[in-house]
Amino acid sequence: MPKRAHRSTALARRRELTPSQVASLSQALQRRFLELPEYQAAREVALYAPIRGEVDTAAVAAAALAAGKKLLYPAVVGDDLKFCRVGGLGELTQGSFGILEPNGPGCDPAAADLVVVPGVAFDMEGRRIGYGKGYYDRALHRLEGSGKLVAFCYDFQLLQEIVGEPHDVTMDLIVTESRVVRVNKHISEGEQQ
């Protein structure tokens, strides 16, 4: 199936989620992420501010700050993403596309131990379909294979296979509400509660 069709189908499914379903699924996913050894060892985590039913990240942000970890968030600047350190969600203001963004000096996303990435759909090989603007692809391509790139998505957004393109950034880990997929090792840790 072409990317456009996958994008359309996944977005339609996501729009069907009620706010309580988004909250419940997001909480389960975030709990799973917070238990990962990669998160436990991280000193700095890049997150995103969710829009239109994306997986929420607020519980991860709160836990990270409580544990003394540093947070980065992306902001759209022209055709690029810049990442900025923030001391809390209160430092985010509405920016491009209605997304909450930081407004501070940029820093290299490679400074983060983990970079959590949103998407419309992902596959078992870590390939990603975004909204089609390429912001994350351009910003994170050089981090591919570093073990730092983490996808947050609902189970229905994780597909068996997506036809990728050379410019598409590939994830290292995929976290859903019911499993963790370690892409480089092709291991799916499923149904752990």
Does residue 112 sit within a domain? yes
Distances (CA, A) of 50 to 43, 53, 55, 117, 145: 22, 7, 6, 10, 25
* CATH assignment at residue 58: 3.40.50.10420
Does residue 191 sit within a domain? no
What pLDDT digit, counting tens, does each position of 73-103 carry?
999 988 889 999 999 889 999 987 889 999 8
Return d(Cα 103, Cα 106) in angstroms, integer. 9
What pLDDT digit, counting tens, does each position of 110-144 carry?
999 999 999 999 999 999 988 878 888 888 988 98
* Segments forming the whole domain that contains residue 75: 3-185
Does residue 175 sit within a domain? yes
Domain count, the chain: 1
SS3 68: coil
Does residue 190 sit within a domain? no
What pLDDT digit, counting tens, does each position of 147-158 carry?
999 999 999 999
Q: Enumerate the H helices of the chain as residue ranges.
A: 3-15, 19-34, 37-41, 58-66, 135-140
pTM, 2 dp: 0.89
